[in-house]
């Protein structure tokens, strides 16, 4: 074996892990590099579109080995269960030890079902496409007789899920429960349009109270109110893999890897973190996990590793938010344009224009993956302008 080969291991084949691996392969194609991508499933999951599966729509079935075809990337299917950052090895169940010279940590996040009693036992989530398909089947059965569906969480995922379900199954009573006003991050006019769309679709809102317990057919709120729920979909809160913290890698209170301005771990320079797994700070504040911010971190890390192998300097990562795109079923949407720190600007889009815009910016990432094999794709809408020019 050639010991001069630079071994790069990418953990996680979600949006960020896939892009990082494929972009790395292209950026290092003339170098002596071996890239290995590790993921528990051989199917690529389009997390941003899971609410469509849950509502009963079929999406294309993409296999990771096929998406990697022609890149030279080795795919290892299995769970990464331990990292030894001192010996630079990853243990993968069913495979064994993977040594690395550089590690890209892209394990992302999942919906947190541990905080509120009953969620893990009685609520559904959008974490797994197989469960989303099963939930869709339950919806179809329920729609045949009429029934109640409760979506917990008034963030963008909850809004998209509630409106998608209501549009696909108009005979169901859909209730969206949120501790804050749905779309609270948006400007007043965009939020007014959002509420108008939910009224049109018949989505009932219960706001201002947190959920304290989920029962088999009921959701209980903090004031003791109970809301009937033949099916409960939980979209509130996220958690990350404990793998990094267990390995002694520096993490914040949420378990995210703390990174420097070039997205390297502050405790282990051979480890880069991207997407939801990284605690990324900009001059305006902390980046929160979205596809909008995740893909730029993946592209940046791929370019940074390639630059480092060529002995070139790496400039700090810069990112600013640009928009908050929200689908409201298949025929409607609202887009709130934002400042770099994700606060709302005056501009927004609604209706057909917003739906078209949303489909353009938030559709399947697979075409981007395929194009990234041949060219350097731009995946970043904004670097934040003056808001990110100060030292982060």
119-234 folds as FAD/NAD(P)-binding domain (3.50.50)
Residue pLDDT, tens place only, 52-69: 999 998 888 899 999 999
Residue pLDDT, tens place only, 237-291: 999 999 999 999 999 999 999 999 999 999 999 999 999 999 999 999 999 988 8
b or e along 197-228 (b: 16 or more beta carbons within 10 Å of the residue's beta carbon)?
Answer: bbeebebbbbeeeebeebeeebbbbeeeeebe
Q: What is the pLDDT of residue 285?
A: 94
Q: Please give the class, per CATH, of domain 6-108+241-321+365-388.
A: alpha beta
Q: What is the pLDDT of residue 47?
A: 87
> Quick check: do 6-108+241-321+365-388 and 119-234 share a fold?
yes
Q: Where are the alpha helices (DSSP H) in the chain?
A: 15-27, 50-54, 64-67, 119-122, 129-145, 156-168, 188-201, 243-246, 291-309, 351-362, 366-372
Task: Kindly list the domain boundaries of the chain, sorted by start residue.
Answer: 6-108+241-321+365-388, 119-234
Residue pLDDT, tens place only, 317-335: 999 999 999 999 999 999 9
Closest alpha carbon to 277 in 17, 83, 60: 17
Q: What is the pLDDT of residue 392?
A: 39
Q: Where are the alpha helices (DSSP H) in 312-377?
A: 351-362, 366-372
Residue pLDDT, tens place only, 124-166: 999 999 999 999 999 999 998 899 999 999 999 999 999 999 9
Residue 391 has pLDDT above 60, yes or no: no
Residue 119 has pLDDT above 90, yes or no: yes
Is-contact 38 9, C-beta < 8 A? Answer: yes
Is-contact 269 251, C-beta < 8 A? Answer: no
pTM: 0.94
Residue pLDDT, tens place only, 185-203: 999 999 999 999 999 999 9
Report residue 119 CA to chain centroid gap: 21
Is-contact 296 379, C-beta < 8 A? Answer: yes
Is-contact 213 120, C-beta < 8 A? Answer: no
């Amino acid at each position: 074996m050639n010991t001069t080969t630079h071994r790069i291991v990418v953990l996680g084949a979600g949006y960020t892990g896939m892009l990082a691996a494929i972009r790395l392969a292209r950026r290092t194609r003339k170098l002596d590099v071996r890239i290995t991508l590790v993921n528990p499933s051989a199917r690529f999951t389009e997390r941003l579109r899971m609410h469509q599966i849950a509502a009963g729509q079929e999406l294309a079935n993409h296999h990771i080995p096929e998406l990697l075809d022609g890149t030279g990337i080795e795919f290892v299917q299995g769970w990464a269960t331990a990292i030894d950052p001192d010996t630079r090895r990853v243990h993968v169940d069913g495979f064994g030890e993977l040594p690395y010279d550089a590690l890209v940590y892209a394990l992302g996040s999942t919906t947190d079902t541990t905080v509120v009693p009953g969620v893990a036992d009685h609520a559904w989530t959008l974490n797994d496409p197989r469960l989303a398909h099963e939930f869709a089947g339950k919806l179809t059965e329920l729609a045949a007789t009429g029934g109640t569906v409760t979506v917990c969480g008034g963030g963008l995922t909850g809004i998209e899920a509630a409106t998608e379900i209501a549009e696909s199954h108009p005979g169901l009573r859909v209730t969206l429960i949120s501790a804050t006003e749905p779309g609270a991050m948006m400007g007043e006019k965009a939020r007014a349009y959002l509420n108008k769309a939910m009224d049109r679709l018949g989505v009932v809102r219960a706001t201002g109270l947190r959920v304290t317990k989920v029962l088999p057919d009921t959701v209980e709120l903090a004031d003791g109110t109970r809301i009937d729920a033949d099916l409960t979909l939980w979209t509130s809160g996220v958690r990350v893999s404990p793998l990094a913290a267990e390995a002694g890698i520096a993490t914040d209170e949420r378990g995210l890897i703390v990174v420097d301005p070039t997205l390297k771990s502050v405790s282990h320079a051979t480890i880069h973190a991207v997407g939801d797994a990284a605690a990324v700070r900009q001059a305006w504040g902390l980046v929160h996990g979205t596809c909008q911010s995740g893909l730029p971190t993946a592209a940046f890390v791929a370019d940074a590793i390639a630059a480092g192998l060529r002995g070139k300097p790496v400039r700090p990562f810069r990112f600013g938010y640009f928009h908050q795109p929200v689908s409201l079923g298949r025929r409607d949407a609202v887009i709130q344009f934002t400042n770099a720190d994700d606060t709302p600007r005056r501009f927004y889009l609604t209706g057909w224009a917003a739906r078209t815009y949303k489909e353009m910016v938030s559709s399947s990432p697979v075409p981007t993956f395929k194009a990234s094999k041949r060219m350097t794709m731009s995946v970043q809408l904004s670097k934040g302008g003056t808001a990110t020019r100060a030292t982060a």
